Structure 1
Amino acid sequence: MQDHLFPDLPGSPPSAPPAPAAEAPAPKKSRGGTVQPAPADPALVDLALQLPPQLRFGGSSWNYPGWAGLVWDGEYAEAVLSKNGLAAYGQHPLFRTVSLDRNFYRALTASQYARYAAMVPDDFRFVVKAPSVVTDATVRDESGRGTQINPAFLSADLAVREFAEPALQGLGHRIGALVFQLSPLPRPVLADVPLLLERLAAMIAALPALTPTAPDAVVAVEVRDPQLMTPEFAAMLRSVGATWCLGLHAKMPPIEDQLPMLRALWPRPLVCRWNLHRRHGRYGYEDAEKLYGPFDKIVDPDPETRQALARVIAGTVKAGQNAFVTVSNNAEGCAPRTVATLAQEVADLLLR
């Protein structure tokens, strides 16, 4: 990425302090299967109007009862939100994308994708994770422990048949990014990185063309092994028209250390998934879930990551590129509040 767009972040001036997020109104009790959105916050509506259309923020899924008063008009069961909450989620002023992380655990069908697409506005875009059967080099038991080598790892046939084709058929033009998140790789795979890059390139090259159906769509690769951040990896992505997914996770270096990958691929859309606060370490998802639930407030503010990400986003959209940015509750404690603060920081930067 061009240095004048993204100067080295440690020396960049901090953005103006964001306005504090307003307290959510006390949620009312709700029953039944229809989920209604929370009343639109005028401040968030105004903030959304300050952002360029090519910038889309969202969360990692939407089935969180703790978002009552922030996203939902009241309290709903998690199962109700999972099935029927997406339409209300899509009416939040700042939510114009979402990460379909559930596809990582079990591949969705074209009809399931189509149901989701029918729930959201026309300009909504989905960030979709590829199934783990394609992106995890090991077969895991119920505890997550690897038990054997996965023979389907980076299978081009499965990537097409179980992922790209159903997503295209069901989501159509609402695809924003197809993300291949490679789980931590076993030593034998990391011992032969050239072979890994060759197989990954072959799989991506086998995917059907996305842009005739989904003009905004991009293929992105996210990793959990920092030693893969090399010029060779970037060159492979460029050769197949894919991009680097900026994964903000304790297993990966901070943003400033990942910038060389973005610069090497510039110009490309930005795909970012802010997954986990760094304080929790490499295996801290369960700790974060326990500490942050019910995900209705910021517990661990991370202004350094947030301000660095805001500068990357602002530089991307100023250059006319799309940006798909999804935020987990495990980033700071409450994705809607993190998105609101991050969006304000981006808006402030765009005014400079």
Structure 2
Amino acid sequence: MPRRPRLTGAATAALALGLVAAAPAAGPEPPVTDARIVARFDPAAGQTAENIALEPDGSADLTFAYARTVAHVSLDGTTTTRATLPVVAHPATPRLRRAVVTGIARAHDGTLYVNYATGTSATGIWRLSPGGGPPVRIARLPADGFPNGLALDERRGVLYAADSVRGTVWRVPGSGGPAVAWARRTELEPSHAGGFGANGVKVHRGAVWVSNSDRGTLLRLPVRDDGSAGPPETRATGLDGVDDFCFAGTGRTVLAALDGGQVVLVGRDGSRAAVLGEADGLSGPTSVAVRGRTVYVPSAAYRTRRAPNLVLARLRYPSGRL
């Protein structure tokens, strides 16, 4: 999640994939060992590693918020720009006053969807076709909002975008169309003026899960049979500065990025334990993704203003056991 005045960018990435052995938080082994930075970004070219989607071969698609780009990082270290969002002449994005690309989601056919926050009529959800071509906006979102995390529910054919300013989760047809305020609750709002509320969002086992950065909470909103939102359930608290997150397996164990410099493992009972930190190379982590036993953690360095990067880790146990 972008933060205001202290932000910096990043430039080219050089990738040399590495692995980190990780143990469950409750075991005798350290939660994470042998951490390695596998991609480094130059904070001078606007490539802040904000959000991530994984390709079937294990490569990654990253949004670089302040470069307004979506980049593809292959397994051999090649980094290419997949798309650049259009220039906005006078961006007025709430909190930041500049245009940023935030959340990203990938469909099984390779289509990518990204949030673009500009403070203008360009704000919304944009689609990148797997065959290439320029990004196309498929849904307009309020210019005075801040679309942040993005999740795709292919079974229902809808996208969910978390609005950090308006305390809203927007729902949009995957094929494009008008945005509907699917959930608008106090629990999703910032806790103070100028803050960030709803941030990360994921669809998991019949519910939409949302993190709230200001309140340090992880919420579960059931999806009713008619597709509407059920009342939010608070599943974890005390997650100060939580940004985006992902599920570590088929259960309800979560890996959450805290912008203060940690990734924590959140148990189904709400308990939490740090599994990665600054000593492992994190520099303001923004999101987490898991493929099998491999964990990906982009850091945008919004607070530190140095060493944005990508860290990989390996779960000790298969994800289905968590």
TM-score (norm 2): 0.35
Between Structure 1 and Structure 2, which shows a larger proportion of strand residues? 2
Q: Which has the larger radius of gyration?
A: 1
